[in-house]
Structure 1
Amino acid sequence: MNNKIIIIVVSILITIGVYFYAQKGQSTDQNANTLSHTDIQLVNPDRFDELAKIPETFVLDVHTPEQTHIAGTDAFIPYDQLKENQSKLPQDKTTPILLYCRSGSMSREATQTLASMGYSTIYDLEGGTQTYREQRVGVLLQPDSQDLGTVIYGDIAKTTFTLTNNTPQPLNITKVSTSCGCTSASVERESLKPYESTTVNISFDPAVHKDDTDLGDLTRTIFIETDNLDFPKVTAEITATVVKK
């Protein structure tokens, strides 16, 4: 009788063991299958900037502790807290994710986590912000040009640029001007710490002169002057086609 009980217990334990082993194998296969369908690419700073300009790209800083973000970053989530903060990530798993940390080690780990979560296109900034800033020293006004499209005479078009102090020294903005009275520009902050950014607000009013001066295809320039002797002035442009109703 005792032998029968032992045999039954052993059989049950073996069955349970086989079941869980199969489940584990299935889970491993699923994870491997997910990773195999994920496109993970290392990108240099130039490629990073190109991808960041694409509206569909989601730019993510995963460095912890939190650092000064690269201009245009959409979210900050520590590399080891991605699954807990999935609500902050794009719901569409085909959305390209462009991520970075300070040196590249945390972002490398984050790529694997994002892949296991089902994201199919992941870009990782090689060398992180250290390499990015070494190759991007300067005062940057981005993008360098924006097209406002068709603007109706009498309407006011607005847009923004990002000014970044990508130097190891504090920066003071000494003057903001434009090439024409139809365009006004202002900065949200006049003093920036190293690697900080601020927004430049632009307003374009083609009817300000109350004549036909600002009709047709136009280009206007924004000038920002600073106290950095190496980068005393930066510029950007807006373009527009102005028409009357």
Structure 2
Amino acid sequence: MAGGLHPIFLVEEAVKAIGLVDAHGHSLIPGNVLYSWTFMIILILVSTMATKKISLVPRGLQNFFEMVIGGLEDFVVANMGEDGRKVFPVLATLFIYILTCNLGGLFPGNDAPTANINTTASMAVFVFVYYQYWGFKIHGTHYIHHFTGPMIWMAPLMFPIEVIGHFARMLSLSLRLFGNIRGEDIVLALLFMLAPIVSTVPMYFLFMLADVIQAFVFFMLSMLYLKGAFEEAH
């Protein structure tokens, strides 16, 4: 069973075995960072395999990734227009990374990096900075009108409200993903203790679906924030 209540985390144990521990015997590298690196390495290897022999008639991994990437790109362009292609690589990377982390935590001996608030908060901060960057890049200093409202006399009232609202987006993105994945781990731990096989196996399929949904929600909200930054202030 996976998650924060898992008795043995294989990657952490491997790090301890090679001596990367502190005075208390704990790994010098945080678990969420270790598993983030692990899943990134897996993604790099899989993507290398998928693109090693590109064919006009896609098969195997190439066909799978073309289907996933193509579907995500069509969704972004349908909602953002052609400008969505400028930010699609980042959005697709977020989705695939989050999905891999979510699903990876379901395998015995692994932990989901997204069940750690540090991982989800760092991604939320990145999204916040990224869409603000595009807002200023496209609109220049006029982007500030997104925060001041349609009439200048409303600016003293609207500006703090808008700033709080934008920072709340980071909080929402990080806590939603963290809460769902951490809750999933806790439920699996409890079910495993009560009925190890009968209860956990069916729940795995339900949680796999939930993991896909959570990755897509993060992807979709990030896209909507970018869409707002691309638009003119009203």
Q: Is the structural similarity TM-score above 0.5? A: no
Higher RCO by CA contacts (8 Å cutoff, separation 6 or greater): 2
Question: How does the TM-score come out when normalised to structure 1?
Answer: 0.23
Question: How does the TM-score come out when normalised to structure 2?
Answer: 0.24
Say which one has the larger Rg. Answer: 1
When you count strand as a share of all residues, which structure comes out higher? 1
